[in-house]
Structure 1
Amino acid sequence: MMDFTDKVVLITGASSGIGAAAAIYFSKQSAKLSLVGRKENNLRKIALYCEKSKGNKPLAITADLTDDGDIKRVIDETIDHYGKLDVLVNNAGIIGMGGIKNTTMETYDNIMATNLRSVFHLTMLATPHLIATKGCIVNTSCIASKKPSTMSLCYNMSKAALDQFTKCIALELAPDGVRVNSINPGFVKTNLLKDIGLSEEQLELFIKNVVGNMPLKKAVESDEVAALIGFLASNNAKSITGSCYIVDGGSILR
């Protein structure tokens, strides 16, 4: 197990899915958490669950990361509350379906605003604080950044750009002692697909098809991804920066 005692960890998209799993993981390692999400009730539930782990009460911040004012508020409230920042987990993201023939500029703008622009802005504001602590950044990307698809053009583009963002700022911040990596999950059963309107029946069929094509024949679990985030944020990974770690049941091989 890794110990994050006295480390301040800021996680976006913490109210569900991978973000919630990461919050729970870090809480078990005694981290001081700043949890950000859009869904206030979900966020409170996750924060309460985390508090029960080691008694550290997380700072829960309800925010819309497409709003510049909210992004600034996330950093300000975290620093006001804890006085520092050690780990930034840029996890919030959305998906949208469609290729060049059947997507819309609204879909493009929404996906880029959440998956890319908000990450850029939040990281920019967090950087001075991370330099002060020689902290680190973990970005949640996807194997979609590396595999072309006809189904989710804008999403794939946003994740490919996020991987390049990871590498560029890893290079820039290395002299400051700040490490930057990304995790690139394959299919993880979260609410992300429900959010685009798939019914329970469609979702089960999709999962069956996707998992059936995975060499390991199993969906990736959120807590597996959370453990990888935890490893990359820990001193066990002190020589790792600018890397994109795939966790996908072997999907990238096909």
Structure 2
Amino acid sequence: MFADKVVLITGASSGIGAATALAFAKSSATLSLVGRNLDNLSKIGKLCEKLNRIKPLLIVADITSDTDLDKILEETANKFGKINVLINNAGINSVPESRSSAETYDRVMATNLRATYLLTTRATPYLLKTKGNVVNISSILSNKPLAIMTPYCMSKAAIDMLTKCTALQLGPSGVRVNAVNPGPVKTEMFRRGGMTDTDCDRMFAGIETSAPLKKTTKGEDVAELVMFLASDRATCITGSCYVIDCGLMLGDAGNL
């Protein structure tokens, strides 16, 4: 499905990003994978290469650095000559205890919003040449306020609007832009955000109980939706934000 297509994925060393990289590899994509942890990134890169025998480009970078954003695009273009798909996946959570601190706010916004905006803007010349597309990883918390994660919720709400504005801007040139809004996915992001293993287990057990489908979303589920939106099967879809949350946003079905 993605043979001869170059797919650039940020935050590819773990979680949803890693699952998305593996899914694209299975579909014969040529990959440029960005992450902060070289060891984890190398592991994912090797798994991708086993799946499609195409060695991915691995880029260790901090997406909050303007210099690194330029490096990501330059190295990808120099290696492969083009960019067909940009997956803005990299993101961080906010520690509940520090939700009111300026430092937490700045860090979350710099990673989740500013980097996505700037990378998309700087990737636009490449995407215009290929009539490519962008998929942003947002969250159901863009529409559901959660007081203990205020900066994170704000950043994801802004990502949804960025998706729509960019789709409006680039649509006449044939470039599509969409977002995927997952419910909670069990990744390292929660632990990095300050949650313990016990906290995570308790939270996800509660989600499975309350979600109408009685399960939680997995990274592989999100990856399949991302691939659909990035594919030629979605040529009439742009400016849309797709919820994938096992029905969590609908509320508890109770005993109905």
* TM-score, reference length from structure 2: 0.96
Is residue 89 of structure 2 the alignment partner of residue 79 of structure 1? no
The alignment status of 1:205 with 2:202, answered yes or no, reads yes
In structure 2, which of residues 150, 175, 179 is the aligned counterpart of residue 178 of structure 1?
A: 175
Alpha-carbon contact 2:95-2:149 (below 8 Å) kept: yes
Residue 15 of structure 1: which of 13, 16, 19 is its match? 13
Number of equivalent positions: 251
Name the counterpart of 2:254.
Answer: none
SS in 2 for 1:193: helix
| Corresponding position: 1:146 with 2:143 | yes
The alpha carbon displacement at 1:215 in A equals: 1.3
User: Is 1:156 aligned with 2:153?
Assistant: yes
Counterpart-to-counterpart distance in 2, 1:188 and 1:176: 34
Measure the CA separation in 1 of the matches of 2:96 and 2:11: 23
Which of residues 28, 32, 37 in structure 2 aligns to 1:34? Answer: 32
Q: Is the 8 A contact 2:138 2:181 kept in 1?
A: yes
Aligned to 1:190: 187
Equivalent of residue 122 in structure 2, options 101, 122, 125: 125
Would you say the 8 A contact 1:220–1:249 is kept in 2? yes
Query: Shift of residue 97 of structure 1?
Result: 3.4
Residue of structure 1 aligned with 2:223, choices 212, 223, 226: 226
Alpha-carbon shift at residue 196 of structure 1 (Å): 1.6
Partner of residue 23, structure 2: 25
Aligned partner of 1:247 in structure 2 is: 244
Q: Among 52, 55, 65, which residue is 1:54 paired with?
A: 52
Paired residue type of 1:114: T
- 2:102 maps to amino acid: M
Structure 1 runs of 4+ with >3 Å offset:
none
**Counterpart contact for 1:139–1:182, Cα < 8 Å:** yes
- In 1: Cα distance, 2:9 partner to 2:42 partner: 14
Deviation readout 1:178-223 (Å, 9 max, x if unpaired): 0000000001111110112222112111111222221111010110
Percent identity reads: 51
- Gap regions ≥5 residues in structure 2: 252-256
Moved more, 198-207 or 151-160: 198-207
How far does the alpha carbon of each residue in 1:1-39 deviate from its partner, in whole angstroms, 9 at most, with x for none?
A: xx1000000000000000000000000111000000011
Matched, 1:115 2:122: no
Q: What is the CA RMSD across the aligned residues, in angstroms?
A: 1.1
The one-letter amino acid paired with 1:116 is L
One-letter code aligned to 2:18: A
- Could you tell me whether the CA contact under 8 Å between 1:97 and 1:153 is conserved in 2? no
Q: Is the 8 A contact 2:99 2:151 kept in 1?
A: no
C-alpha deviations, 1:16-74, integer Å up to 9, x for none?
Answer: 00000000000011100000001110000000000001100000000000111011000
Give the match's secondary structure for 2:8: strand
Counterpart CA distance in 2 for 1:16 and 1:251 is: 24
Q: Secondary structure at the match of 1:152?
A: helix
* More divergent stretch after superposition (208-217 vs 82-91): 208-217
Other structure's SS at 2:147 match = coil
The amino acid across from 1:25 in the alignment is: A
Whether 1:63 aligns to 2:56 is no
Aligned partners of 1:184, 1:203: CA distance in 2, in Å? 20
The 1-side partners of 2:2 and 2:193 are apart by 35
Report the residue type matching 1:85 in the other structure.
I
Q: In the aligned structure 2, how far is the partner of 1:4 from the partner of 1:110? A: 34
